[in-house]
Amino acid sequence: MKSATGYQGIPRWIYAIAAVGGLLVVLPLAAMLAKVNWPQFFPLITSESSLAALGLSLRTSAASTVLCIVLGVPLALVLARGEFPGQRLLRSFVLLPLVLPPVVGGIALLYTFGRQGLLGKSLEVAGIQIAFSTTAVVLAQTFVALPFLVVSLEGALRSAGNRYEAVAATLGARPTTVLRRVTLPLVLPGLASGAVLSFARSLGEFGATLTFAGSLEGVTRTLPLEIYLQRETDADAAVALSLVLVAVAVAVVGLSYGRQRSTTPSEVHA
Amino acid sequence: MSFEVHASLRARNFEMSLSLNDGETVAILGPNGAGKSTLLGVISGLLRPDSGAARIGDKELFRLDGGTRLWSPPHLRGTALLAQEALLFPHLNALDNVAFGPRSAGASRTAARETAEHWLAEVDALPLAKRRPAQLSGGQAQRVAVARALAADPELLLLDEPMAALDIHAAPLLRRVLKRVLKDRKAIIVTHDVLDAYMLADRVIVVERGRIAEEGPTRQVLERPRSHFAAGLAGLNLVTGTITEDGITTPDGRVFAGQHDSGWSPSPGQAGVAAFPPSSVSVFLGDVHGSPRNSFAVTITDLEPHGDQIRVRAGGGSSAPSLSADITPAASADLGLVPGMDVRFVVKSALVSVYPA
Amino acid sequence: MRTFHLKKSIVAMTVAVGLTSALAACGTPAPATTPSSSGSTSQLSGTVTVFAAASLKSTFTRLAKDFEAKNPGTKVTLSFAGSSDLVTQISQGAPADVFASADTKNMTKLADAKLLDGSATNFATNVLEIAVPPSNPASISSFADLAKSGVKVVTCASQVPCGAATDTVEKASGITLSPVSEESSVTDVLGKVTSGEADAGLVYVTDVKGAGDRVKGIPFPESDKAVNTYPIATVSSSQNKELAAAFIAAVTSEEGKKVLGDAGFGAP
């Protein structure tokens, strides 16, 4: 797509500012890397509590990503293609967790699903307790990660337009068939990148989990919470675990970007 | 199983009503924005009119009047739509694209593939079955799209300028394919191209500004056009006026003498038209010798190459329609024609057809 | 025209104030930190920066105000955070004059790093107390009640001082708790109790007092086993050691003890 010899049209000074921007992100990571206690690195990250936290983080992030897809795909469809009163309002609200401090999300969730909460009271009567459970972690992660999926999928849906869907319908496909066989395959790259972003956001979730789910090894203490706690006593462990989190995030994001480049989203041959 | 539709959509100033007999292909001709695509949208169910009704045989597609709000969704109508762009699903290969309709109708995977292969063969595209849409040329993709539309077994096939996006080499092949598959099939084809109308359609409907301007058998509409659009398509000059004994008189008083169709006796005072090809028009400078009839002072507006001739377009004042003359390049050079020049057009009356509007 | 000028000068003032406070926030030591008359103890002046454990927020805010009132010309700048965070900040060169820790362990860290001027003075103690929602839904009345099945207890994690104290009490009393959550701060424990998520939480007496009516405190005798001592000391890099010493003296004075006692702290 990009030719090395083609005219780029970027003024040179832009590169200087871009370099500063890149350094702002890369330098702190490098500084952290320099702080790692390498001889102790492996024992630190394979301690029982570290492994428990990492395992829990991966499991809950996977679960919340699935939940984001299940709930986010319909939301994105309704927002991108639907027409109903209050649509713009709904979009603003769905995007709210993007700008909300996670702690606020945690408090809001607490008053919804907590024991004294709006839904929590009824759930408690039904014998379902969410507070202090892994479910609470997944809920908190889904709350903060859902907008990422909705935003990227809605964008993909909008730019794809609905001409293919119209053709599919005139060929006799029911709306559900159109969704399954045309719409979703067409926006698969957008859905995939949305899911990856959601996973990454879930993995990094801290504030809402801390406020809403609590912190107990193997149950609710995810990797970010473990790092926060380890920082109190053992800075080396905190740095080592931070590096693990960075590595996982880089792997996830890198993997998805690599895949996207190889399968460019739906180049339409007219 | 005939088809009929009437519908109005105020927002687009659209109001049309038409019907198709079984096995009939109708070409819709008209300038951009005349409502051709709106018509197809309304029929296929992608666009909802304010009022109207449509049916194929006993099956009602929609009926929107005072009390009834019957609206059948696109997938239940059996009106496959083929657009200017092939719009093949990019994630499916050609075969699976064609099998999409049968699969949606509930056919098994193997049965749908068989149907798809049959239709791919019909459009001479069987060797392309395994290709992805991105690996097909525009013409190939459009043929596959035709196969896909036909494989859905539509009761009415809608074609929206299927040739418009193709290059001049790909169009003839697709036109041949369409001629074959549209035979004895109910279809509506929207087109800009008079050749499509001649080759593919039994009947032509000319639409202008959201209304039907003219309709009739293809040959009759194109040889005896009554609308300026149809005359333009047929490459004829068209003048409207009042019938006289030997021609017509235009509202601004010009007289066009011409030939009547045999078997029609003109009744003077009746509204009529005179049609004549640009090749029947000669261009002169200054005064004319001989018969002053069919001779008009005009101002040249444009000169353009037309085949091996030069087409001279001229307006005869604000009210008169523009007329065209075809002359040889040599004659054009001899006369020193340039836009803005005042010249005289002289029309050979033997080549002017006069008939009622 | 007049309003225009007025507006302009307001803007100028705002900018100036903003700049100064921004500079101050950057931690440039104020030039006034050197005492004007070095011989006299009654003529204190300048700014003293106090880094204090988060649990001291209300008492130290009060003590600082009293100190400033008694010694005109002085200013006390307060910075509250977890004790271990403050130790990290001071080690990295943060401009602190006084450090007040919530435990001896963190103070020892600074002493070991030779960052203290002289030795630390213990000025208060704190013990654990059970915090329950005002309605006390699980009817907690003793430490042993916390171990009953079905009681949702929230504690601090062992890594933080209140959690370490909890471990000590558990060991000493032979009662093992199975908390539903081990929080990394007292605030988080209290949050779970006040919101009604937890039936009980283990926090310090002072935290229960600070939370007012939102929680009910239940003292228990086993808390004697883990008395938390608060030490205070002058930081070796201090530019105004005289003022620092004066502030420490104020904290350890009778009036200081009264303020601390009102907040629930014990005497060392």
- At C32 the pLDDT is 41
What subunits touch chain B, counting only 3 or more CB pairs under 8 A?
A
Residue C35 has pLDDT above 90, yes or no: no
Q: Do B138 and A186 touch (CB under 8 A)?
A: no
- Give the Å distances, CA to CA, from A86 to A78, A91, B328, C111: 12, 9, 67, 62
* C180/A116 Cβ within 8 A: no
**Chain A / chain C CB contacts < 8 angstroms:** 64
Q: CB distance C195–A110 less than 8 Å?
A: yes
Does the pLDDT of residue C28 top 70, yes or no? Answer: no
Contacts of A115 in chain C (CB under 8 A): 196-197
Helix ranges, chain C (H): 2-25, 57-70, 83-91, 104-112, 161-173, 186-194, 205-210, 241-252, 254-262
pLDDT for C202: 94
Distance of CA C79 to the CA centre of its chain: 9
Nearest CA in chain B to A189: B91
**Quick count: other Cβ atoms within 10 Å of Cβ A20?**
10
Q: Mind telling me how many Å the CA of A177 is from chain B's nearest CA?
A: 7
Contact A173 B87 (CB under 8 A): no
Count of other CB atoms within 10 angstroms of residue C94: 16
Residue A181 pLDDT grade (very low, low, confident, very high; cuts 50, 70, 90)? very high
Residue A233 has pLDDT above 70, yes or no: yes
Q: What are the chain A neighbours of B161 within 8 Å (beta carbons)?
A: none
CB-count burial class (<10 Å; 0-12, 13-18, 19+) for A189:
middle
Q: Which among C88, C181, C196 has the least Cβ separation from residue A116? A: C196
Alpha-carbon distance of B298 to B307, in angstroms, equals 23
DSSP string of A41-79? HHHHHTSHHHHHHHHHHHHHHHHHHHHHHHHHHHHHHHH
Choose the closest CB to C188 out of A210, A216, A235. Answer: A210
The CA distance from B101 to the nearest CA of chain A, in Å, is 5
Out of B44, B75, B138, the one facing A173 most closely (by C-beta) is B75
Q: Does the predicted interface ipTM exceed a cut of 0.85? A: no
What angle separates helix C254-262 from helix C57-70, to the nearest 10 degrees?
Answer: 150
Nearest CA in chain B to A269: B134
The span from the CA of B346 to the CA of A114, in Å, is 94
Distance from CA of A140 to the nearest CA of B (A): 35
Reduced to 3 states (helix: H, G, I; strand: E, B; else coil), residue A235 is: helix
Distance, in Å, from the CA atom of C85 to the CA atom of C101, rounded to the nearest integer, reads 11
pLDDT value of position A137: 94
H-helix or E-strand spanning residue B339 = none
Q: Is A131 on the interface with C (CB under 8 A)?
A: yes
| Residue A99, min C-alpha distance to chain C (Å) | 23
Contact flag A174-B75 (C-beta cutoff 8 Å): yes
Asked if chain B contacts chain C via 3 or more Cβ pairs within 8 Å, the reply is no
Task: State whether residue A132 sits within 8 Å of chain C by CB.
Answer: yes
User: What confidence score (pLDDT) does residue C232 get?
Assistant: 95
**Chain A: nearest CA to B44, how far in angstroms?**
7
Provide the mean pLDDT of chain A: 87
Lowest mean pLDDT segment, chosen from A5-14, A46-55, B94-103, B334-343: A5-14
Who has greater pLDDT, C93 or A270?
A: C93
User: Which residues of C sit within 8 Å Cβ distance of A?
Assistant: 82, 84, 88, 152, 154, 157, 159-160, 179-184, 188, 191-192, 195-198
β-strand partners of B298: B343
The pLDDT value given to residue C123: 94
Each as own residue / partner, the long-range contacts of residues A226-235 (CB below 8 Å, 24 or more positions apart, any chain) are A226/A49, A226/A50, A226/A53, A228/C184, A229/C157, A229/C159, A229/C160, A229/C184, A230/C159, A231/C84, A232/C82, A232/C84, A232/C157, A232/C159, A232/C160, A232/C184, A233/C84, A233/C159, A234/C159, A235/C88
Q: Could you tell me the CA-to-CA distances from A237 to A35, B11, B194, C162 in Å, in that order?
A: 11, 68, 79, 21
| Interface contact A168-B89, CB threshold 8 A | yes
Question: Percentage of residues in chain A with pLDDT exceeding 70?
Answer: 93
Tell me the per-residue pLDDT of A32-66, one tens digit each, with 9 for 90 and over.
888 888 888 988 888 888 999 999 999 999 999 99
Poorest-pLDDT segment among A255-264, B112-121, B205-214? A255-264
Residues of chain C neighbouring A131 (CB-CB closer than 8 A): 152, 180, 197
What is the rounded CA–CA span in Å between residue C52 and residue C99?
6
Contact B104 A173 (CB under 8 A): yes
Q: Which amino acid is at B251?
A: P
What pLDDT is recorded for position A230? Answer: 86
Band of pLDDT at residue B294, cut at 50, 70 and 90:
confident
Average pLDDT over all residues of chain C: 83
- Record: contact A229-C191, CB cut-off 8 A: no
Dihedral class, residue B22 (left if φ above 0, else alpha if ψ from -120 to 50, else beta): beta
- Under the banding of pLDDT at 50, 70 and 90, the label for residue C102 is confident
Q: Cβ(A149)–Cβ(A76) under 8 Å? A: yes
* Helices B138-151 & B170-182 angle (0-180, nearest 10): 10
Q: What integer pLDDT is reported at residue C42 of this predicted model? A: 56
Q: Is the pLDDT of residue A262 over 90?
A: no
Q: Residue C24 pLDDT more than 70? A: no
CA pair distance C158, B202, nearest whole angstrom? 89
Q: Which residues pair with C153 in a beta bridge?
A: C200
pLDDT for C192-238, tens place per residue? 998 888 999 999 999 898 888 899 999 999 998 889 899 999 999 89
Q: Between A170, A174, A188, which is nearest B80 by CB?
A: A170
Q: Which residue of A has its CA nearest to B156?
A: A170
Q: What is the DSSP letter of C180?
A: S
pLDDT at C145 over 80: yes
Length of chain C: 268
CB contact under 8 A, A267 and B90: yes
Query: In this model, does residue A243 exceed pLDDT 70?
Result: yes
C159–A216 CB contact, under 8 Å: no
Predicted confidence at residue C179, as pLDDT, reads: 93
**From A209-213, B49-53, B266-270, C6-10, the region with the lowest mean pLDDT:** C6-10
pLDDT value of position C19 = 42
How sure is the predictor about B319, in pLDDT bands with cuts at 50, 70 and 90?
low
Q: Nearest-CA neighbor of B210 among B5, B3, B9, B4?
A: B9
* Residue B306: its H or E element: strand B295-306
Q: What is the mean pLDDT of chain B?
A: 88
Q: At residue B108, what is the residue type?
A: S
Give the percent of chain B with pLDDT over 70: 96
Mutate which: A167, A178, A191, A267, vs B, most B CBs within 10 A: A167
Residue A163's alpha-carbon distances to B80, B89, B214, in angstroms, are: 13, 10, 31
Q: Which of A197, A186, A151 is nearest to A265 (CA)?
A: A186
Of all residues in chain C, the one with the smallest CA distance to A227 is C184
User: Which tops the pLDDT comparison, A232 or A181?
Assistant: A181
Of A172, A174, A269, the CB nearest to B101: A172
Distance from the C260 Cα atom to the nearest Cα atom in chain A, whole angstroms: 26
Check: CB of residue B86 under 8 Å from CB of residue B141: yes
Q: Who wins on pLDDT, B265 or A100?
A: A100
Residue in the block written with tokens 């675990």:
A241
> Residue B290: its pLDDT value, please?
52
Q: Which is more confidently placed, B316 or A239?
A: A239
Q: Is C99 helix (H, G, I), strand (E, B) or coil?
A: strand
Q: Residue A95 above 70 pLDDT?
A: yes
More confident residue, A71 or B262: A71
Give the pLDDT confidence score for residue A1 in this predicted structure: 47
Give me the residue label for tokens 């960052």.
C115
Q: Which of A217, A232, A235 faces C184 most closely, judged by CB atoms?
A: A232
Inform me whether the pLDDT recorded for B222 exceeds 90.
no
Chains A and C touch (3+ CB pairs under 8 A): yes
Q: Which residues of A touch C88 (CB under 8 A)?
A: 235
Place of tokens 């009132």: C69
With CB atoms and an 8 Å threshold, state whether B91 touches A170: no
A233·C181 Cβ contact <8 A: no
For residue B24, give the DSSP letter: -
Which chain C residue's Cα is nearest to A132?
A: C180
B194 touches chain A (CB under 8 A): no
pLDDT classification of B228: cutoffs 50, 70, 90: confident
Residues 153-172 of A with CB under 8 A from B: 163-164, 166-172
C interface test, pick of A226, A229, A230, A239 with most C CB neighbours within 10 Å: A229
Task: Name the DSSP letter for residue B278.
Answer: G
Query: What is the total residue count of chain A?
Result: 270
* pLDDT reported for residue B115: 95
What is the percent of chain C where pLDDT is above 70? 84
Contact B44 A170 (CB under 8 A): yes
Report residue A250's pLDDT band, with 50, 70 and 90 as the boundaries.
confident
Q: Which residues of B touch A174 (CB under 8 A)?
A: 75, 104
Residue tagged 């952290």 (tokens): A32
Best probe of the C interface among A103, A119, A216, by most C CBs < 10 A, is A216
- CB contacts, 8 Å: C181 with chain A: 132, 213-216, 220
What whole-number distance in Å separates Cα of residue B54 and Cα of residue B36?
16
Q: What confidence category does residue C61 fall into, taking pLDDT thresholds of 50, 70 and 90? A: very high
Q: What is the pLDDT of residue B259?
A: 84
Q: Which residue has the higher pLDDT, A214 or B148?
A: B148
Element (H, E) at A244: helix A235-262
With contact defined as beta carbons under 8 Å apart, do C79 and C51 qualify? yes
Q: In the numeric block, which tokens belong to residue C72?
A: 């005109």
